Chains A and B, each alone.
Chain A
């Protein structure tokens, strides 16, 4: 992998992490933990991998990204703004009355949001629909979807997983944000989804396991995924909840809590 590309993406990922902290701090609520854990995946997608045109959010041939774990909205909003879908200045309106940046993504209000989400477990089904439409229309776009590990407790995820394989959706690539934590504690203790990679394999998916904070690995995994013919691909990304902010890392308390002023300053200093 080109080191210049990686350096550029690492810089962008830091900016996105700073946005996540600033946005949730300004909102006084939100979900920094799972936004930070998926920041590198989302950065790689929006700044290297996906075919996009911010001036044409409805371009029929664009690649799609569905944020199934909708509570990580800050990471998506930041990526969209940094990519030029709207002004970055709007990010601090997150969760405020009248804002297009709803607490969970609303495709009707904000350009670039491909699917409204927030009620967990539904994004993969929508991504399947988009992938089916791509096949029907003979368009070569790719659909990406990000699923949480806690979210994988929803039965509908597996209904959809079955369908992606059944309909041989090789234009569909999923990421699992395997950060190991959910609101009530470690996923293994609340309701284990393990062995999660084996489950996806058993459902007929091509599965890779990568370091979800290694931008080179993320990009290479998508290159490999694109070579798979006849079926969907899952990239299990081993991640750290709260990644990049020392006091948030692997701490379940930061699933759905905003930093106060002091914490915000400390976090932004670490991400400088």
Chain B
């Protein structure tokens, strides 16, 4: 099956929605070819604004457009959209709850060769802490397209975390994607892997590997980090008694932290977080980096084996 990057699906979805929704405007910060907002820019040039290399101003301008009735999509790399422009995201977008959608690509270490300066592994931690902001991390192209529709439905700010890397399709054509509602990709009772983004595919591969050993693990696709589907987490904790989280993000403050918070409060069971272990990324091929930073299906399977012993 052909792999498609979530940023590709985003660009396609946005360009497709522009005609039926005249309120959509799109801003980019000199990365339209990379974030794929170029598709929209070509079709609707008067509703596309290249803001140049000035991310803070892009977020602020989007806030003003949203305050005037527009649905303002902002795109650049995640490290700049969230890191560089965090104060603008906080004060000009989230505090006044304006209808701005931050669809940032190149999140995580699979940016690859550009290295640590461009690899955002903190953005979920930062965005998750902001009131009024919905945080969505689609796992494949089909989820991304549905997430764009969901983002438009939400009256308020949304962060869509997108990737550079082409990823496999995980869904049949008809599947339900609802903000804040986790998707159980695979049933199981020995342990639960809760994953987001491209780590869902790794989690499924880990589940296959473990099935060969007679370990049946549940795989939960937690595409919405905020609001978190706490019910799905508690159910998994109660029924499997062991949880492994998997994310292409720091283990500090991301999906793993969000899951651990719920588990600790409502149903304490062992939790192991697979993710970037409090370090910056570095240059390399995406697959090499996944290996080096411990983000492969093998790492997830090892974590499941280890945590099962703690039950």
Among residues 26 to 71 in chain B, which have CB atoms less than 8 Å away from a CB atom of chain A? Answer: 46-47, 49, 51-52, 54, 56-57, 59-70
Interface status of B206 (Cβ within 8 A of chain A): no
Contacts of B69 in A (CB 8 A): 60, 133, 137
Whether A122 and B52, one on each chain, are in contact in the complex, defined by CB atoms closer than 8 angstroms, is no
Cα A17 to Cα B264 in complex, Å, equals: 54
State which of B54, B72, B87, B95 has its C-beta within 8 Å of the C-beta of A129: B72
Would you call B47 and A126 a contact (CB within 8 A)? no
Give the Cβ gap from B157 to chain A, nearest Cβ, in Å.
13
Query: B16 an interface residue at 8 Å Cβ cutoff?
Result: no
- Those of A69-107 within 8 Å (CB) of chain B: 106-107
Give every chain B residue within 8 A of A22 (Cβ-Cβ).
Answer: none
Contacts of A153-176 to chain B: CB distance below 8 A: 155-156, 159-160, 162-163, 166-167
Q: Secondary structure at chain A's binding surface: helix, strand, loop or mixed?
A: helix
Known contacts A106-B96, A125-B92; A130 and B54 CB within 8 A of each other = no
A13 at the binding interface (Cβ < 8 Å): no
Asked if A107 meets B87 with Cβ closer than 8 Å, knowing A122-B92, A129-B61, the reply is: no
Q: Which residues of A contact B25 (CB under 8 A)?
A: 132-133, 136
Inter-chain CA distance A129–B96, complex, in Å, is: 15
B120 within 8 A of A: no
CB < 8 Å: which of B87, B92, B97 contacts A126?
A: B92
Q: Are A115 and B67 in contact (CB under 8 A)?
A: yes
Pick the contact of A128: B47, B61, B90 (CB < 8 A). B61
Whether the pair B60, A125 counts as a contact (CB closer than 8 A) is yes
Q: Is A116 positioned at the interface, with any CB of B under 8 Å from its CB?
A: yes
Choice from B46, B54, B67, B88 contacting A163 with Cβ under 8 Å: B54
Q: Does B21 contact A (CB under 8 A)?
A: no
Most buried by A among B49, B63, B64: B64
Contact check, B60 vs A129: say whether CB atoms are below 8 A apart.
yes
Residues on A with C-beta less than 8 A from B49 are 132, 167
Nearest CB to that of B55 among chain A residues? A159
Any chain A CB within 8 A of the CB of B239? no
Closest 9 CB pairs of A and B: A129-B64, A125-B60, A133-B68, A159-B57, A126-B64, A159-B54, A129-B65, A116-B96, A119-B91
